[in-house]
Structure 1
């Protein structure tokens, strides 16, 4: 298990991918042919859901499908793992988000997170974004973790775990190119005159991203390279100074 630092999350919540039921659900999903088979056979694109999950205001039922345009709300001790196109998502407990439509019904152009947290793995593509009240992230092919910190006034935490992301917060912009967890705050009020600031690596693990990447037939950057890096939020395999972070003051 890779090292991880928790802030406002429990160890049990972070280790969701280790649960026996989750592993069985993922194995069954793969055995059934994954997303292409699910689409061809008009089966659900949900790998697993646990607890109270609301879909468009109604309690979610087994074998329901998550589509673009849907609103998702998870309750306490609840979670949802699903795929749309070449993207996989794990929605954590006490989260609310909307998946907006892309070029087709099976393409998610925008993930609008209103509360809580979501782990995401995206295959290559264009015109996809994650939006929170304080931050916008333009997604290319990447794996990311996004959380709205309710106990910090709605401040957004965002980690580009691997890949390239165009970051923006209230006019502050940065291009994030990460091989190993480059993290940002989308501030509610400016800090040091900036709304986009560096953050440490918090509340998520390598294994979560590997789990989701595997669902879409991909591998993370560190799996491809055969090594992990320095998990300090700066985004590099080797130690770098604080000013190497793209949101650091210049």
Structure 2
């Protein structure tokens, strides 16, 4: 089990992947052929829904399909896992977000997060980004965790593996990570947002591994067969 630090979240929320119903749902999804089969058979792309969520203002129920252009809102104590395009998503409780449409109905061009937290894994593809009130992250093939703490004018962003282009109000950086490189993108006292180093918070390796498996991908540490130190610096400790 990954060593992890919690800030504003409880242990049960981060250890959702250990639940038997979650494991059964993920196994069933893969046994039925994953996302390509779901598209071909016109089945739902929702892997798991726990608690209450809204899709475009209406209650979301298992069996529905999430498409690009949709607005999603999760309620207290809820959780949503789904796959779309060539990416997979874990949406934590109390999150509001929009999945923006790309060149086709199933191509995700942008994930716009207004509140809450989302873990996501992306296969390689065209231009895509994650946008929050204080950060724009240009996504390549990678796994990331994004959180906007309630009542705070900043974004926590972890490039769990891969390469990400970061822009906070014109302050730019390129993150190349093997193992969890983390940042705060914050606007102190209403000033222009800046990017600062952060620790490794509120997510686990196992969450990213489950999401990667849903789209037939492996995390960088799975490929390498070892892990680094969870310190937010992004290295394997070479």
Instruction: Specify the SS of the correspondent of 1:200.
Output: coil
Q: What residue in structure 2 maps to residue 245 of structure 1?
A: none
Unaligned runs of 5+ in 1: 240-250
- Against the structure 1 CA distance between its residues 193 and 50, is the aligned structure 2 distance closer, same or farther, given a 3 Å change threshold? closer
Task: Summarize deviations over 1:142-193 as a string: whole Å, max 9, x none.
Answer: 0000000114x23100000000000010110000000000001110227999
Distance 1:230 1:174 in 2: 22
Stretches of 4+ aligned residues off by more than 3 angstroms: 190-194
Residue 121 of structure 2 corresponds to residue 121 of structure 1: yes
Distance 1:26 1:58 in 2: 25
Q: What residue in structure 2 maps to residue 106 of structure 1?
A: 106
Distance 2:18 2:191 in 1: 40
- Against the structure 1 CA distance between its residues 190 and 164, is the aligned structure 2 distance closer, same or farther, given a 3 Å change threshold? farther
Task: Give the C-alpha shift of residue 125 in structure 1.
Answer: 1.1
Distance 1:98 1:37 in 2: 24
Equivalence map 1:155-174=2 (5 Å): 155-174=154-173
Distance 2:193 2:97 in 1: 26
Q: What residue in structure 2 maps to residue 139 of structure 1?
A: 139
Q: What residue in structure 1 maps to residue 46 of structure 2?
A: 46
TM-score of the superposed pair, with normalisation by structure 1: 0.92
Equivalence map 1:201-216=2 (5 Å): 201-216=200-215
Distance 1:229 1:191 in 2: 36
TM-score of the superposed pair, with normalisation by structure 2: 0.97
Distance 1:120 1:102 in 2: 17
Task: Give the C-alpha shift of residue 126 in structure 1.
Answer: 2.1
Equivalence map 1:1-250=2 (5 Å): 1-151=1-151, 153-189=152-188, 195-238=194-237
Instruction: Answer whether contact 2:115 2:150 (CA < 8 A) is retained.
Output: yes
Distance 2:189 2:220 in 1: 32
What is the total number of aligned residue pairs between the two structures? 238
Instruction: Answer whether contact 2:185 2:193 (CA < 8 A) is retained.
Output: no
Question: RMSD of the alignment, in Å?
Answer: 1.5
Task: Summarize deviations over 1:36-86 as a string: whole Å, max 9, x none.
Answer: 111011000110101111000000122000000000000011011001111
Distance 1:48 1:193 in 2: 38
Moved more, 130-139 or 187-196: 187-196
Distance 2:158 2:190 in 1: 19
- Against the structure 1 CA distance between its residues 195 and 30, is the aligned structure 2 distance closer, same or farther, given a 3 Å change threshold? same
Task: Give the C-alpha shift of residue 194 in structure 1.
Answer: 6.5
Instruction: Specify the SS of the correspondent of 1:173.
Output: strand
Distance 2:38 2:192 in 1: 49
